[in-house]
Amino acid sequence: MAFTLWLVPLTLLASYYTFVAAAVAIPQSPNQKVIKNKVEEGCDLYEGKWVIDEFYPLHNASSDCPFIAKGFDCVRNGRPDKKYLKYRWKPNACDLPRFDGEKFLERNKGKKIMFVGDSISNNMWQSLTCLLHKTVPNSNYTLTRQSLLSIFSFPEYEASIMWLKNGFLVDLINDKEKGGILKLDSISTGGQWKEVDILIFNSYHWWTHTGHSQTWDYFQVGDKLIKDMDHMEAFKIALTTWAKWIDSNIDPSKIRVFFQGISASHADEKACLRKTQPEEGSMAAPYPGVDIVKSVINNMTKPVELLDITLLTQLRIDGHPSIYTGSGPSFVDCSHWCLAGAPDSWNEIFYATLLRD
Ligand SMILES: *[C@@H]1O[C@H](CO)[C@@H](O)[C@H](O)[C@H]1NC(C)=O
Ligand SMILES: *[C@@H]1O[C@H](CO)[C@@H](O)[C@H](O)[C@H]1NC(C)=O
Ligand SMILES: *[C@@H]1O[C@H](CO)[C@@H](O)[C@H](O)[C@H]1NC(C)=O
């Protein structure tokens, strides 16, 4: 990843602290919407710590869920330490309800749930399908994969849990002469988003790519082609385009919208290598891009619920596949997450939020 925390401009830090201060001291702040969404009867689900729980993991990826992607199944890929499987996210003021797949599917009978986003979105989708299958093992499932869309269905409940691959949310087009053009103010694929009952978006990691890992050649805004610009500025423009799309196309009485917040990467200098324990404590430095996500969501006219997973992932430096991706020890993955692992907790939070009303 291109950013290191100590390189974050001071202005960014300042606005982050203003946000925190406002959040704590002034309930009527403009940030109220985000804050209201994350509080459940006085319990902030995102302030807490990772605790050892002998009842965890919630599933054994390989034996319970043969459909889990090889790259996430760290146990099968030979990861020798096992303590990382035992952590449960514990909010300070409450406990997350235990994940009950039957209850989840009863609640969502006849519904379509769609994750839209990058491979971290895939990570969460795979975790959810595994948690569901593990807790309702006698309910048959079908899994179909098309080029961009994967559909996991439980016919008994007429429920589908889908993942639609989309790294940027805005359009990336391929121009024969110019190459890849990332159109920051254009969304032409949103039609599929309107066909479901619950949407969980994410976008972030692709924006941080530079150099040879950058998957586009130009940015475009209006008619203007831009060779390069600050990638976080581009992320902000694109996310604002997405927000406007949701505001004008989604009826909240029909479709519930979530945004999966930024999942922390520990890829700088392969920091996750050989880590077998979470970071101590329940605080972490501000993470680049988080203030953009919160600000864009707060400025929306339609309700979007933020699954604010940044802090809890920042603490889980031990939770990445590292060299246990199944692709050999020269590949170190400090961005995705082992399953079982941290994404199961994101789904426990998602479940708690869905159960709330
Ligand atoms: C996972 O498998 C191990 C070994 O077979 C077993 O001891 C453990 O109970 C299993 N865990 C779950 C959550 O099923
Ligand atoms: C699951 O599929 C099997 C085999 O097709 C069938 O016998 C069984 O009744 C199905 N179970 C449910 C709950 O639909
Ligand atoms: C949200 O609205 C405020 C107040 O109008 C503005 O200052 C801020 O730049 C907006 N945030 C984004 C990300 O556009």
pLDDT (mean) for 73-82: 98
Does the structure show a pLDDT above 80 at 1?
no
On whether residue 30 sits in a domain, the answer given is no
For residue 285, give every residue at least 6 positions away whose Cβ sits within 8 Å of its Cβ, in sequence order, or none: 5, 6, 314
Q: Which domain does 325 fall in, by range? A: 4-8+45-355
Q: Is the pLDDT of residue 23 over 90?
A: no
244-299 pLDDT tens trace: 999 999 999 999 999 999 999 999 999 999 999 999 988 999 999 999 999 999 99
Ligand nearest the Cα atom of residue 59: 1
**Predicted pLDDT of residue 25:** 33
Phi, psi of 262 (to 5 degrees): -70, 125
Active site residue 336: yes
Which candidate, 335, 330, 340, places its Cα nearest to that of 317? 335
Can you tell me whether residue 258 is helix, strand or coil? strand
Block residue for tokens 């602290």? 17
Size of the chain in residues:
357
Cα torsion 307, 311, 312, 313 to 10°: value is 90
Q: What confidence tier does 40 reach under pLDDT thresholds 50, 70, 90?
A: low
Tell me if 193 is assigned to some domain.
Answer: yes
The reply to whether ligand 2 has any atom less than 6 angstroms from the CB of 276 is no
CA distances from 70 to 37, 75, 167, 307 (A): 34, 10, 20, 26
Handedness of CA 90, 93, 96, 97 (dihedral sign): positive
- Concerning whether 266 is annotated as a catalytic residue, the answer is no
Please tell me the predicted confidence (pLDDT) of residue 2: 37
What was the pLDDT predicted at 15?
34
Cβ of residue 240 lying under 6 Å from some atom of ligand 3: yes
Residue 34 within a domain: no
Is-contact 47 314, C-beta < 8 A? no
Average pLDDT across the chain, whole number: 90
231 is catalytic: no
In a domain, residue 36? The reply is: no
Q: For 217-236, what is each residue's pLDDT tens digit?
A: 999 999 999 999 999 999 99
The token duo for 57 is 């993991």
Which ligand places an atom closest to the C-alpha of 291?
A: 3
DSSP 3-state assignment of 43? strand
Q: Is the CB of 31 under 6 A from ligand 3?
A: no
Q: What DSSP letter does each residue of 213-230 carry, written as one string?
A: G---SEEEETTEEES---
> Which residue's alpha carbon is at the smallest distance from atom 10 of ligand 1?
60
pLDDT score for 35: 42
Q: Is residue 267 part of a domain?
A: yes
Question: Got the DSSP string for 149-200?
Answer: EEEEEEGGGTEEEEEEE-SSSSEEEEETTTEEEEETT----GGGGGG-SEEE
Average pLDDT over every residue of 311-323: 98
Please report which ligand is nearest the Cα atom of 157. 2
Q: Which helix (H) or strand (E) holds 132?
A: helix 119-135
Tell me, yes or no, whether 17 lies in a domain: no
Nearest-atom number in ligand 2 for the CA of 156 is 14
Tokens found for residue 134: 């593990």
The answer to whether residue 210 is domain-embedded is yes
CB 195 less than 6 A from any atom of ligand 2? no
Alpha-carbon distances of 45 from 93, 103, 309, 349, rounded to whole Å = 8, 20, 10, 7
Nearest CA to ligand 1 atom 13: 59
Answer yes or no: is the C-beta of 53 below 6 A from any ligand 2 atom.
no
- The residue with greater pLDDT, 99 or 12, is 99
Q: Tell me which H or E stretch contains 118.
A: none
Check pocket membership of 140 for ligand 2, CB cut-off 6 A.
Answer: yes
When pLDDT is averaged across residues 19-44 and rounded to a whole number, the result is 47
Which residue's alpha carbon is at the smallest distance from atom 9 of ligand 2?
140
In a domain, 146, yes or no: yes
Residues 149-152: contacts with CB under 8 Å, at least 24 apart:
149/192, 150/122, 150/125, 152/67, 152/125
Going by C-beta distance under 8 Å and a sequence separation of 6 or more, which residues neighbour residue 251?
A: none
Tell me what pLDDT residue 4 has: 35
Q: Which of 160, 263, 336, 345 is catalytic?
A: 336
Ligand 3 atom closest to the Cα of residue 299 is 1
When divided into structural domains, the chain yields a total of: 1
Is the distance from the beta carbon of residue 228 to the nearest atom of ligand 2 less than 6 Å? no
Confidence class for position 42, pLDDT limits 50, 70, 90: confident
Distance 293 CA to ligand 3 centre (A): 11
Q: Is 251 helix (H, G, I), strand (E, B) or coil?
A: coil
> Of the listed 73, 171, 291, 333, which one is catalytic?
333
Q: Which of 165, 208, 196 is nearest to 258 (CA)?
A: 196
